[in-house]
Chain A
Amino acid sequence: MSDPSYEIVIGLEVHVQLQTATKLFCRCSTRFGAPPNTQTCPVCIGLPGSLPVMNRQAFELALKTAVALNCEIPAFTKWDRKQYYYPDLPKGYQISQFDLPMSQHGYLEISDAKGAFAPKRVGILRAHLEEDAGKSMHDELAGKADSRIDLNRTGTPLLEIVSQPDMRSPEEARAYLTELKLLLTYLGVSDCNMQEGSLRVDANINLHVATPQGTVATPIVEVKNMNSFRAVERAMAFEATRQFDVWNDTRISLGAPGGHKTTRGWDEQAQVTRPQRQKEESSDYRYFPDPDLAPVIVTDQQLDAVRASLGELPAALRDRLQTERGIDAYDADVIVNQGRAFVDYFSELADIGGDAKRASNWMQQDVLRVLNERDLTIELFPISPASLAELLKTVQRGELDTSRARDVFNVMAESGDSAAQAMQRLGIQAVHRDELRDLCRELLDANPNVVADVQSGKEKAIGALIGQAKRRNPNANPNQVRQLCLELIRQQGSAQE
């Protein structure tokens, strides 16, 4: 935090699209990108007489997420109508959850592997299941001020996850989002694609300012229109500074006249937040239980089954990689953050290759580099863990130096060859230790001055021989040449004494 005279207080509301084939209350497809108004039916258009029926899969995915977020799951939950008028909300109400959400009082642990902030628990106030609205498109052609409405997205299942105002810096806010996205990805409940709107973030932020009279809270601002985690981080930083400036100018605190909650939008281009017009009469949603939907009762057995189905979650996995594989916290974090498939690849590579640290380094540097360069996921990575393990073993035995191994790796990644095939293609042969020893002996015999230098303590003099060795045999491993030469010189020395 830049200014110690105030503390930043951030709470986040995340809407996640659940990965179902069909919508929450009808069986229209949820596929993204279809031509406008081709994925609708009487139910999601809200035609008179149509009725909603809850998607079982949507409820189960929501339940899974809530359990993974350590939430309490009440035995009884119901759906309510949230009423407001908007052209992309065809029924005049959104089916959501009000006073009895399906889950509440959970938490998510966040930390920073580089120690930017101390590990902490961010409280989850509630997570509830609701339907999405459609899309309003505003094309203000000359004199034509119509909006166009596409209802394809209407009724897509959303999980709204509301955090407690527990984050104290923009970095923590970003870490929370990153960890939440990772968890959702591990659970397989959402693709979390922000570009396609499957993950949306709104933030509530204010400051706790230290004054001689004690701590004072500034008015809460809800920030919208943030299209990436980086945008959230920047918007929060911007808002903190802006709110502190406003405080210094006005001294208006939360709840005081003029201190009500306001809404601002993040302008990505200008990197500032701007005030947004509130929706008219938005304050009175007239929630009431939806008489068309049956409440849901969740039993303990059902919850046990959900818990059993979760699999290993990121936090536990990070711990296990450290204890079982002996890699450090930072490395475990990087690997786990790449997703479950990446971890599986790593584990297999370490199992076969036998050296977890080396496997971890290669995964982070080389594998990730190729994935990024080619915009691939690990599932489509052309080198199998077994092939890569074969290459790493060659390095471990000293038969190949790292830079040669990287050349081999690149060929493998390009061609899908095995390590042996790639080495052959590059004309690399692993040089047998006896062969190399003979070469070193010849070189030492031909260069008595180098031997003398080394014996007088100038080990660096060996460098001259490595170049010569490479010229005689391009596959000679420099480290091995150095070691063998030193060994031979030491043997000579002791023989002379």
Chain B
Amino acid sequence: MSIHDLTATELIRRLESGDLSSVEVVQAFLKRIEQGDGRVRAFVRVEANRALSAAERIDQRRRGGESVGRLGGLPVAVKDVICTEGQATTCASKMLQRFTPPYDATVIRRLKQADAILIGKTNMDEFAMGGTTESSALATTCNPWDLARVPGGSSGGAAACLAAGMVPLSIGSDTGGSIRQPASFCGVNGLKPTYGRVSRFGLIAFASSLDQIGPLARNAEDLALLLEVLAGHDPSDSTSANVPVPEYSRLVSQPLDGLTLGVVREHFGEGLDSQVQEAVREALRVYESLGATVKDISLPHSRYAIATYYIIACCEASSNLARYDGVHYGYRTDETAMLADLAAEQRALTSRGDSPLLDDLDSPLVRMYRQTRSEGFGAEVKRRIMLGTYALSHGYYDAYYVKALKVRRLIRNDFDAAFREVDLIAGPVAPTPAYRLGEKTEDPLAMYLGDLYTVSANLAGICALSVPCGLNGQGMPIGLQLQGPLLDEQRLLRAARMYQTVTDWHTRRPEGF
């Protein structure tokens, strides 16, 4: 087996035993990136030199008998929505193309403390808004299983680089399915932790009450390993959970006795692709063969999840993205041209004697804001800002925003009731496998509806993961979603690992990679 085929857990074992050096591992993956990323374009930036010198330092420390961290010498890819000190962090937006944070996100600090090697930053939908990675202003990422198809999103680069064997571990963020859906589209594993389990400090916000950083990996064991490094209380994040972190990497191999899986009646209706449905049903039969009970349950408000999610997410986004105004950092429009245009408009209106329009004419500052934001943001980001601004504006706040917060409570109550009956909820991640590039870009509503199964976990704050559970007739991966109660990631991971001891979907690799 070559280096890039090994799991992170196995690589660490070999690094620790001295069978492999970190430099060898990093070189092997850099080579994979060099060979494959021209086609996939998962990375927006690869830090080859930095990674190699970090690997050398780790090797030296190991040779010198020093102890190294949990991920000592292992390369990790980071979604470009997470701040890295002294290294550009763009959110795949023109707005932040020249932004270099003067600080590290808490998860980056934790990765560095664990002696992980940050090998590069991965592509994503602009500001994590989208499900295909096509809204990136920097590049279009392709699905390694079929380069004509989307890798999913918004953590498309994070999932694609893992699927193509360019890294053993990857970090994404999930606001409404942005880890789980690309993981399922690319045939890898992805976990959205409970809200608050992983610090958001340094994660560039899309929707603050929904965003969560999480791991993507080759199997459940690797997810457990990476989550153990990422998770933990952070006093810099007021929403961080101040509770101990279980030893996921040790617990993951313990099977669950008497597991009860809930299957949501409402998830198997209209719009669910028949092959996806069949793969999920088959996965449930596997669980039954392992002694689990499968129980039919209802989440009565699940049909409202998409509307609820998009209102809340867009309201928060419209506020979170207000800071990109061209004043303190990021893109600013060409001021000279802007001022000249404004002066010309003023002259034209004056000569026409159009005083009402003249009164409405932007001041130079307001024009700078508007021009900067219109040029710096892409279409999808602008749509969501507009939607959120509208929903929070005077006269609509109660009908949309407050209403959505109330339905969110009902959705959460549904989950609370369900978890009194079952241990975990199992179902599809997305209604279909990966679709063709460009297929949904002009129909935002259709794209939003694709998030049907994933957004509820973010609304309720619970944890959820995606594991590969099949390939469709065209050879595209299908994912199984498991959702668990608040802070019960260990149960999710153990259930996923149980499944992977008797199936091999997670070991499949795309042809050509």
Would A and B touch once assembled, by the CB under 8 A criterion?
A: yes
Interface residues of A (CB under 8 A from B): 42, 45-54, 81, 83, 85, 87, 90-93, 145, 147, 149, 151, 280, 283-284, 286, 288, 291-294
Point out the residues of chain B lying under 8 angstroms from A81, CB to CB.
319
For the complex formed, measure the closest distance between the CB of A259 and the CB atoms of chain B, giving whole angstroms. 21
For the complex formed, measure the closest distance between the CB of B60 and the CB atoms of chain A, giving whole angstroms. 32
Inter-chain contact A83/B204, CB cutoff 8 Å: no
Given contacts A93-B322, A293-B238, contact A46 B83 (CB under 8 A): no
12 example contacts (A-B, Cβ-Cβ < 8 A) are as follows A47-B102, A48-B204, A51-B237, A53-B238, A85-B366, A91-B322, A91-B323, A284-B394, A286-B389, A288-B319, A288-B397, A292-B208
Given contacts A42-B101, A291-B209, contact A49 B239 (CB under 8 A): no
For the complex formed, measure the closest distance between the CB of A38 and the CB atoms of chain B, giving whole angstroms. 14
Inter-chain contact A291/B105, CB cutoff 8 Å: no
Question: Is B200 located at the chain interface by the 8 A CB criterion?
Answer: yes
The total of chain B residues at the interface (CB under 8 A) is 46
Question: Is B369 located at the chain interface by the 8 A CB criterion?
Answer: yes
A286 to B207, CA, bound (A): 16
CB-CB contacts below 8 Å: B238-277 with A: 238-239
Point out the residues of chain A lying under 8 angstroms from B319, CB to CB.
81, 83, 92-93, 286, 288
For the complex formed, measure the closest distance between the CB of A458 and the CB atoms of chain B, giving whole angstroms. 86
A288 to B321, CA, bound (A): 15
A151 to B202, CA, bound (A): 20
A83 to B325, CA, bound (A): 13
Pairs of residues from A and B, 7 with the lowest C-beta to C-beta distance, nearest first = A92-B322, A291-B209, A291-B208, A286-B392, A48-B204, A49-B202, A49-B83
Q: Among B208, B237, B238, B393, point to the contact of A284 (Cβ < 8 A).
A: B393
Question: Is B201 located at the chain interface by the 8 A CB criterion?
Answer: yes
A46 to B330, CA, bound (A): 12
- A42, A48, A286 — which one has the most chain B CB atoms within 10 A of its CB? A48
Point out the residues of chain B lying under 8 angstroms from A46, CB to CB.
323, 328
Inter-chain contact B365/A87, CB cutoff 8 Å: yes
Q: Which residue from chain B places its CB closest to the CB of A79 in the assembled complex?
A: B238
Question: Is B99 located at the chain interface by the 8 A CB criterion?
Answer: yes
Query: Could you count the A-B residue pairs with CB atoms below 8 Å apart for me: how many are there?
Result: 105
Q: Among B204, B318, B392, B397, point to the contact of A49 (Cβ < 8 A).
A: B204
Given contacts A49-B201, A51-B201, A286-B393, contact A294 B103 (CB under 8 A): no
Given contacts A49-B83, A52-B238, contact A280 B327 (CB under 8 A): no
Inter-chain contact A51/B236, CB cutoff 8 Å: yes
For the complex formed, measure the closest distance between the CB of A50 and the CB atoms of chain B, giving whole angstroms. 7
Given contacts A48-B83, A284-B393, A286-B393, contact A85 B325 (CB under 8 A): yes
Given contacts A294-B238, A294-B239, contact A49 B82 (CB under 8 A): yes
Point out the residues of chain B lying under 8 angstroms from A293, CB to CB.
238
Point out the residues of chain A lying under 8 angstroms from B364, CB to CB.
145
Question: Is B91 located at the chain interface by the 8 A CB criterion?
Answer: yes
Inter-chain contact B323/A42, CB cutoff 8 Å: no
Point out the residues of chain B lying under 8 angstroms from A151, CB to CB.
328
A45 to B393, CA, bound (A): 26
Q: Among A280, A291, A294, point to the contact of B316 (Cβ < 8 A).
A: A291
Inter-chain contact B238/A51, CB cutoff 8 Å: yes
Point out the residues of chain A lying under 8 angstroms from B102, CB to CB.
42, 47
For the complex formed, measure the closest distance between the CB of A140 and the CB atoms of chain B, giving whole angstroms. 13
Point out the residues of chain B lying under 8 angstroms from A286, CB to CB.
318-319, 389, 392-394, 397
Question: Is B171 located at the chain interface by the 8 A CB criterion?
Answer: no
For the complex formed, measure the closest distance between the CB of A157 and the CB atoms of chain B, giving whole angstroms. 16
Binary per-residue interface labels of chain B (71-106) against chain A in the complex, 1 for a CB within 8 Å, 0 otherwise: 000000000001100000101000010010111010
Point out the residues of chain A lying under 8 angstroms from B209, CB to CB.
291
- A49, A52, A90, A294 — which one has the most chain B CB atoms within 10 A of its CB? A49
Inter-chain contact A54/B203, CB cutoff 8 Å: no
Point out the residues of chain A lying under 8 angstroms from B202, CB to CB.
49-50
- B96, B205, B323, B393 — which one has the most chain A CB atoms within 10 A of its CB? B323
Inter-chain contact A48/B394, CB cutoff 8 Å: no
For the complex formed, measure the closest distance between the CB of A24 and the CB atoms of chain B, giving whole angstroms. 12
Inter-chain contact B103/A149, CB cutoff 8 Å: no
Q: Which residue from chain A places its CB closest to the CB of B326 in the assembled complex?
A: A87
Q: Which residue from chain A places its CB closest to the CB of B335 in the assembled complex?
A: A146
A145 to B239, CA, bound (A): 42
Inter-chain contact B329/A47, CB cutoff 8 Å: yes
Given contacts A51-B237, A83-B322, contact A288 B392 (CB under 8 A): yes
A320 to B363, CA, bound (A): 59
A294 to B241, CA, bound (A): 12
Inter-chain contact B369/A85, CB cutoff 8 Å: yes
Question: Is B69 located at the chain interface by the 8 A CB criterion?
Answer: no
Q: Which residue from chain A places its CB closest to the CB of B211 in the assembled complex?
A: A291
Q: Which residue from chain A places its CB closest to the CB of B234 in the assembled complex?
A: A51
For the complex formed, measure the closest distance between the CB of B373 and the CB atoms of chain A, giving whole angstroms. 10
Point out the residues of chain A lying under 8 angstroms from B96, CB to CB.
48
Point out the residues of chain B lying under 8 angstroms from A53, CB to CB.
235-238
Q: Among A42, A145, A283, point to the contact of B394 (Cβ < 8 A).
A: A283
Inter-chain contact A92/B238, CB cutoff 8 Å: no
Point out the residues of chain B lying under 8 angstroms from A291, CB to CB.
207-209, 239, 316
Question: Is B419 located at the chain interface by the 8 A CB criterion?
Answer: no
Binary per-residue interface labels of chain B (263-300) against chain A in the complex, 1 for a CB within 8 Å, 0 otherwise: 00000000000000000000000000000000000000
Inter-chain contact B325/A288, CB cutoff 8 Å: no
A83 to B328, CA, bound (A): 17
Inter-chain contact A92/B323, CB cutoff 8 Å: yes
Inter-chain contact B103/A90, CB cutoff 8 Å: no
Point out the residues of chain B lying under 8 angstroms from A50, CB to CB.
103, 201-202
Point out the residues of chain B lying under 8 angstroms from A280, CB to CB.
363, 366
Inter-chain contact B323/A90, CB cutoff 8 Å: yes
Point out the residues of chain A lying under 8 angstroms from B318, CB to CB.
286
Q: A50-B202, A54-B238, A288-B319 are in contact. List 14 more A-B contacts (CB 8 A).
A: A47-B83, A48-B323, A49-B202, A49-B205, A51-B237, A87-B325, A90-B323, A90-B328, A147-B365, A149-B327, A286-B392, A288-B315, A291-B209, A294-B238
Given contacts A91-B323, A92-B319, contact A48 B99 (CB under 8 A): yes
Q: Which residue from chain A places its CB closest to the CB of B199 in the assembled complex?
A: A51
Point out the residues of chain A lying under 8 angstroms from B105, CB to CB.
49
A94 to B479, CA, bound (A): 42
Question: Is B401 located at the chain interface by the 8 A CB criterion?
Answer: yes
Point out the residues of chain A lying under 8 angstroms from B315, CB to CB.
288
Q: Which residue from chain B places its CB closest to the CB of A84 in the assembled complex?
A: B322
A280 to B370, CA, bound (A): 13
Q: Which residue from chain A places its CB closest to the CB of B369 in the assembled complex?
A: A85
Q: Which residue from chain B places its CB closest to the CB of A40 in the assembled complex?
A: B328
